[in-house]
Amino acid sequence: MGERKATIIVLFFCFSLLGSISGIAFASSQNWSEVTRLTGESPGVSKTDFTIEHVKWRIRWEYYAVNPHPALSLFDFRVFENKSEEPIYDAPSSWATNSTNGTGTLHFSKTGTFFIDCISSCDTYTIIIEQDLESIPEFPAWIILPLLITATLVIMVCKQKLHKTPNQQSY
């Protein structure tokens, strides 16, 4: 009877463990999912915060200025971690590029809550923040205890089964 209870408990913890890690997505390579987007069709300032759950993420952007004097067009953005004072990325300002359009991509490897701040005098711009669903989300610390309990119960059940094998009699 005790063996049956232990088996039920092991199965319960195994199913609980499977349910807790179901957030991991196993998908094809380059499986990018959009988290948020900033767009503008006139000069101004855009701000937004976003949460990244997967280790790999990126920021893609493009801007276009109709202004006949590219030096008068500005496109600049900064990324902050958890609304801190210091940016983790400060884009080089487009003032120095003398260009009427531009594109780019930045890659990051960090989870958490971030904040993006964009200043633009361009006619149109788009900033897209995406995360790679193929990358494994940050490992939650609370999962360690259920793993240890499950491993302990599996060892206990296996040990009980080994001791119940009948002894062979010698003749």
Question: Per-residue pLDDT for 25 more than 70?
Answer: no
Counting every residue, how long is the chain?
171
Q: What is the per-residue pLDDT across 29-73, written as a single tens digit (0 to 9) for each?
A: 468 999 999 888 767 788 889 999 988 999 999 988 776 565 567
Return the closest-CA partner of residue 61 out of 114, 97, 107, 96.
107
Per-residue pLDDT, 130: 95
Question: Per-residue pLDDT for 133 more than 70?
Answer: yes
Q: Please state whether the predicted TM-score (pTM) of the whole model is above 0.85.
A: no
Per-residue pLDDT, 129: 94
Question: Per-residue pLDDT for 125 more than 80?
Answer: yes
Q: What is the per-residue pLDDT across 90-112, written as a single tens digit (0 to 9) for each?
A: 876 655 455 667 888 999 988 89
Q: Report the alpha-carbon distance of residue 115 to residue 156 in Å, rounded.
A: 49
- Any idea which of 16-30, 64-78, 153-167 has the lowest mean pLDDT? 16-30
CATH topology of domain 27-136: Jelly Rolls (2.60.120)
Per-residue pLDDT, 20: 53
Beta-sheet strands, E only, within 41-164: 44-52, 56-64, 75-81, 87-90, 101-109, 112-120, 124-132
CB atoms within 10 A of CB 34: 10
Q: What is the per-residue pLDDT across 64-94, written as a single tens digit (0 to 9) for each?
A: 877 656 556 778 889 999 878 888 888 766 5
Return the closest-CA partner of residue 125 out of 32, 33, 35, 45.
45
More confident residue, 2 or 74: 74
Per-residue pLDDT, 29: 43
